[in-house]
């Protein structure tokens, strides 16, 4: 990884950025979303809103926005096609320098597109740029940027680090992709409705370098009860299994079988560790039932048979089945060390991107 100070765009033209906005029953959020796009400075934007047969007023809101802003175009579905088909329909149509897939309930931070375009203009090998997404519920906290830097990885290096991390380091609204790279790698995989974005990032890293904007929010990710992450794909164990499917799907297309086998072992060990960690946290908070803990332990052992001899496994057994005072004390010490390690890992992601 290389770290660079960000540079001003010295191009005589404004980069052309297409933003694809899939929308299903998010009419009450759509105005904020589109407003955050059309107000982006230093770029020429076009907005493609795809209303996937919404039953609320999404289509009417989008029509009014298209009348107000010449950059906005609306496509309406007569029948619901689902999110993956809608994503792919929009992405196939774009002909721009760069492209963003932005859910109708999310927003871009001011200047996000010019910052991402500036990095990709400076580094033609970079196929995707991301940054920090701020979670919000009602109104984003607009922060004054500090020192803004760029992280740039060679694609294979970033991909290996992502396998080691296990959790996706990109949430989605902050990702800006070079359009030629998007068309080169293809579109979202229908068999991965929950983790198609993770598999997409890996595919892009397979053919291009990866960049990140540090020191400033790049997008605002709305957290609300009807968001997909709180409905269809909310169960933690299901999420872990879906992540494993995404990694596995990517590795099936890997030409280097030795590398694929090595990455698979790394991924399965990490997924097993995350599963045990979730179960441990669930016991501590009282939110995980005994059957859920058993299911987590079974999944962890299936992912990595060696997990049964790990400290994480032993500590989970003590937590779930009881243990001596000295055993619980050892668990407390190890949990303290794990929490510190997880915090440092979060700090690294927060400031450097992975």
Domains of the chain plus CATH, in order, are: 2-222 (3.90.550.10), 237-352 (no CATH)
Q: How far is CA 258 from CA 19, 150, 205, 238, 265, in A?
A: 38, 32, 18, 28, 11
Residue 224 confidence (pLDDT): 65
pLDDT category, 232, cuts 50, 70, 90?
A: very low
pLDDT category, 10, cuts 50, 70, 90?
A: low
pLDDT category, 11, cuts 50, 70, 90?
A: low
CB atoms within 10 A of CB 61: 23
Report the interhelical angle of 311-321 vs 290-303 (nearest 10°): 160
Say how far apart CA 292 and CA 320 lie, in whole Å: 11
pLDDT category, 35, cuts 50, 70, 90?
A: very high
- When pLDDT is averaged across residues 238-256 and rounded to a whole number, the result is 92
Say how far apart CA 307 and CA 24 lie, in whole Å: 42
Residue 12 confidence (pLDDT): 64
Q: How far is CA 294 from CA 37, 181, 322, 352, in A?
A: 46, 43, 14, 36
pLDDT, tens only, 80-108: 999 999 999 999 999 999 999 999 999 99
312 or 185: which carries more pLDDT confidence? 185
Residue 225 confidence (pLDDT): 67
Q: Please list, in sequence order, all residues whose beta carbon lies within 8 angstroms of the beta carbon of residue 346, skipping any fewer than 6 positions away.
A: none
Indicate if the pLDDT at residue 169 is higher than 90.
no
Say how far apart CA 195 and CA 232 lie, in whole Å: 12
- Given a contact cutoff of 8 angstroms between Cβ atoms, the answer to whether 148 and 116 are in contact is no
Closest CA to 39 of 105, 108, 137: 108
* Joined tokens for residue 4: 């660079």
Q: What is the DSSP string of 331-346?
A: HHHHHHHHHHHHHHHH
Beta bridge partners of 178: 98
What global pTM score does this model have? 0.90
Residue 227 confidence (pLDDT): 55
- Given a contact cutoff of 8 angstroms between Cβ atoms, the answer to whether 254 and 169 are in contact is no
Residue 335 confidence (pLDDT): 87
pLDDT category, 32, cuts 50, 70, 90?
A: very high
Indicate if the pLDDT at residue 189 is higher than 80.
yes
CB atoms within 10 A of CB 106: 23
Residue 265 confidence (pLDDT): 95
Indicate if the pLDDT at residue 233 is higher than 50.
no
Residue 78 confidence (pLDDT): 96
- When pLDDT is averaged across residues 75-80 and rounded to a whole number, the result is 97
pLDDT category, 345, cuts 50, 70, 90?
A: confident
Say how far apart CA 57 and CA 77 lie, in whole Å: 14
Residue 145 confidence (pLDDT): 74
For residues 20, 23, 27, 28, the Cα torsion angle rounded to the nearest 10 degrees is: -80
């Amino acid at each position: 990884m290389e770290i660079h100070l960000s540079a001003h765009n010295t191009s005589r033209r404004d980069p052309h950025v297409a933003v694809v906005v899939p929308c299903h029953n998010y009419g009450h959020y759509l105005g904020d979303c589109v407003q955050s796009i059309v107000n982006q400075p230093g770029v020429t934007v076009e907005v493609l809103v795809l209303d996937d047969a919404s039953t609320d007023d999404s289509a009417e809101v989008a029509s009014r926005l298209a009348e107000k802003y010449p950059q906005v175009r609306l496509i309406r579905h007569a029948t619901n096609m689902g999110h993956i088909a809608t994503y792919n329909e929009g992405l196939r149509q774009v002909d721009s320098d760069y492209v963003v897939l932005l859910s109708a309930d999310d927003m871009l931070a001011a200047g996000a597109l010019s910052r991402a375009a500036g990095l990709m203009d400076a580094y033609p090998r970079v196929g995707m740029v991301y940054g920090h997404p701020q979670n919000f519920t009602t109104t984003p906290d607009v922060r004054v940027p500090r020192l803004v830097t760029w992280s740039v990885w060679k694609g294979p290096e970033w991909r290996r680090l992502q396998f080691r991390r296990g959790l996706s380091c990109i949430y989605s609204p902050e990702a800006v992709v070079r359009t030629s790279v998007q068309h080169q790698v293809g579109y979202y995989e229908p068999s991965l409705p929950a983790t198609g974005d993770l598999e997409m990032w890996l595919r892009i890293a397979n053919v291009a370098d990866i960049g990140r904007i540090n020191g400033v929010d790049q997008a605002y990710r709305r957290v609300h009860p009807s968001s997909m992450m709180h409905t269809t794909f909310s169960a933690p164990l299901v999420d872990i299994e879906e992540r494993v499917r995404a990694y596995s799907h990517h590795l099936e297309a890997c030409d280097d079988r030795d590398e694929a086998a090595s990455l698979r072992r790394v991924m399965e060990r990490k997924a097993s560790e995350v599963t045990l960690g979730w179960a441990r946290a669930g016991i501590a908070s009282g939110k995980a039932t005994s059957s859920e803990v058993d299911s987590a332990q079974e999944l962890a052992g299936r992912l990595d048979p060696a997990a049964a001899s790990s400290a994480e496994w032993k500590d989970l057994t003590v937590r779930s089945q009881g243990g001596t005072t000295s055993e619980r004390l050892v668990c407390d010490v190890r949990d303290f060390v794990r929490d510190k390690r997880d915090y440092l890992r979060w700090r690294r992601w927060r400031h450097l991107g992975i």
